[in-house]
Amino acid sequence: MFKRFSLIMVVLLLIVGSAYAQGTGPECFGSEGSALSILGSWAGEEEETFRQVIAPVIEACNLTLSYEGTRDLNTVLPTRVDGGAPPDIALLPNPGAIKTFANNLVALTDVGVNPDSYSEGWQQLGSVDGRWLGLPLKTDVKSLVWYSPVAFEAAGYSVPATWDEFIALMDQMVADGGPAPLAMGFESGGATGWTATDFVQDILLRTQGLEYVNGLVSGETAWNDQGVVDAWTLYVEWVNKYGAGGADGALTTSFGDAILQPFQDPAAAWMVKQSGFAGSAFIQPNFPDYVYGEDFAFFVLPTADGEPAAMQVGGDFLGVFNDTPAVNAMIAYLSSADGASAWAASGFDLTPNSAVDLGAYANPISADKAAALLSAPDVSFDVGDLMPPAVGQAEFDNIKAAVGGGDIVALLNEIQAKYEEATGM
């Protein structure tokens, strides 16, 4: 770990040193020698990496940083806010938390943010009633399909460029009689079903579009609308027609084991639709001799016309509770090109900051994921993270029931009723 963080620090110092050589670098806004408090859920290695990312502005402005990491953020932060002693900055796990504290947060436009570094979609995800309150800080992409280029080449398969080509490829894999086209296991304890709902959201983005998907959160799209029925029906059909082990395999195979199925010897599937973390967190550790780009790689789930769709993402945001010079310095730095490149160099997943230099990503997997994100016309946050918890849990539970043979219309009617009960809409 020491060697890893030492290397990170060297890279960050080189980035910042280059910036100073060009007459730039962190702007302090008169904060020199002042204090800055940050509350978040990151601890251990994640906390250390975050500290390395922000070290340039901390050192340049001689700030005294008080960082508190807690796994009980949902209790600690409201207690601090209600008690009139919020942190200067809080690291928030999703846009829902921004809405919770909307009345307490300071607009980012008042504290030195660089809006040009973020797409309209990212700004909207962090906004409440037209006020931009949440700075997108860290993200991962979800609309990916992982596969083995070596295995594809040996079988004569090509990466599909369109939705029809994707279906034709899976049909050919079935006809050839080898492994199943897709690893679709999604068992995950109390959260079983999340990989299935992620897949359905990407189907909806390609068949109905971003505005339609956003409507599931706002209430403009009913959960039992025919477009949703069709997407769930298609997903269940694919589980049974293309999935390794069919419905039973999907329900009983853990999502982690499913990630590995296309890369085992012998393989149990050709592909797995999974988030970006699959490469570094699962495939590489389990197959240390595999080379990225040869033994494993990804492509973005294609669209009808082959043009990029909105990228489904998850991620963390930053909220400001106190407008101080130190806060201005931190927000200006994190939303700058230097801050973005420092984040990329740290290996702490992807930055939503579009000013990032892709060459700063030391990990080629991260660099390719970042390129895919920047190529997308917009972003679509995981719908389950934007809804009341009861609705998200109903989505998980009912997709399991659907795969198990339940009536899809009835199950979606239940989710719609749960949505109306939870939101009063």
Please tell me the total number of residues recorded for the chain in this structure: 425
Task: State the residue for tokens 């009345």.
Answer: 103
pLDDT at 7 over 60: no
Compute the distance between CA of residue 381 and CA of residue 315 in angstroms, rounded to an integer: 8
* C-alpha to C-alpha distances, 64 to 9, 54, 60, 328, nearest whole angstrom: 19, 12, 11, 15
Calculate mean pLDDT across residues 129-145.
97
Task: State the residue for tokens 């027609």.
Answer: 241
pLDDT at 204 over 60: yes
What CATH number does residue 249 fall under? 3.40.190.10
Using pLDDT thresholds of 50, 70 and 90, give the confidence band for residue 96: confident
pLDDT at 211 over 60: yes
Using left for φ > 0, alpha for ψ between -120 and 50, and beta otherwise, residue 173 falls in alpha
Query: Do 306 and 318 belong to one domain?
Result: no
Residue 302: DSSP 8-state: P
Query: Do 359 and 255 belong to one domain?
Result: no
Using pLDDT thresholds of 50, 70 and 90, give the confidence band for residue 1: very low
Query: Do 102 and 215 belong to one domain?
Result: no
Q: Report pLDDT digits (tens) over 64-92.
A: 999 999 999 999 999 999 999 999 999 99
Residue 24's pLDDT is 56
Query: Do 167 and 74 belong to one domain?
Result: no
Beta-carbon neighbour count of residue 70 at 10 Å? 14
User: What is the end-to-end Cα distance of the chain in Å, rounded?
Assistant: 50
Query: Do 224 and 109 belong to one domain?
Result: no
* Phi, psi (degrees; rounded to nearest 5) at 98: -65, -45
* C-alpha to C-alpha distances, 413 to 43, 224, 409, 417, nearest whole angstrom: 40, 5, 6, 6
Query: Do 266 and 153 belong to one domain?
Result: yes
Considering its fold, how many domains does the chain have in total?
2
218 versus 16: the higher-pLDDT residue is: 218
SS3 300: strand
Query: Do 168 and 130 belong to one domain?
Result: no
* C-alpha to C-alpha distances, 92 to 53, 105, 422, nearest whole angstrom: 17, 12, 22
Q: Both tokens of residue 246?
A: 């069919």
Query: Do 148 and 200 belong to one domain?
Result: yes
Using pLDDT thresholds of 50, 70 and 90, give the confidence band for residue 155: very high
Query: Do 251 and 279 belong to one domain?
Result: yes
| Chain Cα centroid distance, residue 43 | 19
Q: Beta strands 35-40 and 89-92: pairing type?
A: parallel
Using pLDDT thresholds of 50, 70 and 90, give the confidence band for residue 147: very high
Query: Do 128 and 162 belong to one domain?
Result: no
Q: Which of 377, 395, 412 is the last residue of a domain?
A: 377
Sheet holding 180-183, edge to edge: 180-183, 269-273, 144-147, 297-300
Compute the distance between CA of residue 70 and CA of residue 92 in angstroms, rounded to an integer: 12
* Phi, psi (degrees; rounded to nearest 5) at 132: -80, 110
Percent of the chain exceeding pLDDT 90 equals: 91
* Domain that includes residue 167, residue range: 144-311+381-423
* C-alpha to C-alpha distances, 79 to 72, 75, 371, 389, nearest whole angstrom: 11, 6, 40, 20
Q: Report pLDDT digits (tens) over 101-122.
A: 999 999 999 999 999 999 999 9
Query: Do 25 and 158 belong to one domain?
Result: no
Compute the distance between CA of residue 64 and CA of residue 168 in angstroms, rounded to an integer: 59
pLDDT at 3 over 90: no
Q: Which of 347, 362, 377 is the last residue of a domain?
A: 377
